[in-house]
C-alpha cells in the first residue's frame, strides 16, 4: 500500500500544488519556458496516473478470504466422512477456522465453523502427506450417529482443543 501511495498519490499532490500556486497568482507565468515546463509536468503526471500507475491491489485476506488448508485429507474411523482443517486469513485480526467435511456416500460437502484459538496458529500452513503429522482427528461419538468428536494434535498447536461436531446441524461446540 505504501508503494501505491508513493507512485500514485505523490505525483497527484505535486499536480495539485502546482494548480493551487497558479490559481493563487491568478494567471500562468509569462515566461514561455516556464509555461512549457509546467505544461510538460502536468501532462506527464496526468498520463502517468491514467496509464502507468494503476497497479493491481491484492484483495485477498481483507475483501476475499485467504484459505489455508492444514494437513492431509483424512477419513473418519467409521469411513463415512473425509475431512481436513481450513484456516481463513491466518495471522490477521479477522482469522477463523473451520472443518471441511465431505460425506463419502452422498458427496455432500460441509464447512463447519470452529471456535478455535487460532490467533496462535501463524504456523506451518503447508501440506503434508504424512498421516503421522495430522493436525486433527475426527472420531464418531457414542452419544449419537450424527455427533463426532474433533481433537487437534500437538502438530497444529501446543494447546490441544476438542470440539463436538454435529453433522446434521453442521455446527460445532468447544468442549472444555
Give residue-wise pLDDT tens across range 145-167. Answer: 889 998 887 777 678 888 999 99
Query: Are the beta carbons of 82 and 105 closer than 8 angstroms?
Result: no
User: Angle of helix 10-25 relative to helix 32-47, nearest 10 degrees?
Assistant: 150
Average pLDDT, the chain: 77
Domain ranges of the chain: 2-52, 67-175
Which residues, at least 6 apart from 34, have a Cβ–Cβ distance to it below 8 Å?
A: none
80 versus 88: the higher-pLDDT residue is: 80
Sole residue written with cell 491466518 = 90
Residue given cell 485480526 in the structure block: 93
Largest CA distance in the chain: 91
SS3 call for 96 = strand
pLDDT of 61 above 60: no
pLDDT at residue 4 is higher than 60 = no
What is the pTM for the complete model shown?
0.60
Residue recorded with cell 455432500: 108
CA distance linking residue 109 with residue 102, whole number of Å: 4
pLDDT at 87: 79
Give CA separation, 50 vs 53, 64, 67, in Å: 7, 26, 34
Amino acid at each position: 500500500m505504501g508503494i501505491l501511495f508513493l507512485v500514485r498519490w505523490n505525483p497527484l499532490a505535486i499536480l495539485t500544488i502546482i494548480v493551487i500556486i497558479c490559481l493563487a497568482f491568478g494567471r500562468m507565468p509569462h515566461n514561455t519556458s516556464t509555461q512549457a515546463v509546467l505544461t510538460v509536468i502536468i501532462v506527464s503526471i496526468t498520463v502517468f496516473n491514467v496509464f502507468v500507475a494503476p497497479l493491481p491491489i491484492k484483495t485477498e485476506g481483507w475483501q476475499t478470504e485467504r484459505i489455508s488448508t492444514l494437513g492431509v485429507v483424512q477419513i473418519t474411523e467409521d469411513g463415512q466422512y473425509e475431512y481436513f482443517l481450513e484456516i481463513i486469513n491466518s495471522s490477521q485480526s479477522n482469522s477463523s477456522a473451520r472443518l471441511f467435511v465431505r460425506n463419502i456416500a452422498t458427496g455432500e460437502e460441509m464447512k463447519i465453523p470452529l471456535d478455535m484459538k487460532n490467533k496462535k496458529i501463524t504456523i506451518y500452513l503447508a501440506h503434508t502427506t504424512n498421516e503421522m503429522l495430522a493436525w486433527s482427528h475426527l472420531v464418531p461419538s457414542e452419544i449419537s450417529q450424527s455427533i463426532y468428536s474433533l481433537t487437534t494434535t500437538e502438530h497444529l498447536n501446543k494447546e490441544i482443543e476438542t470440539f463436538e461436531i454435529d453433522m446434521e446441524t453442521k455446527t460445532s461446540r468447544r468442549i472444555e
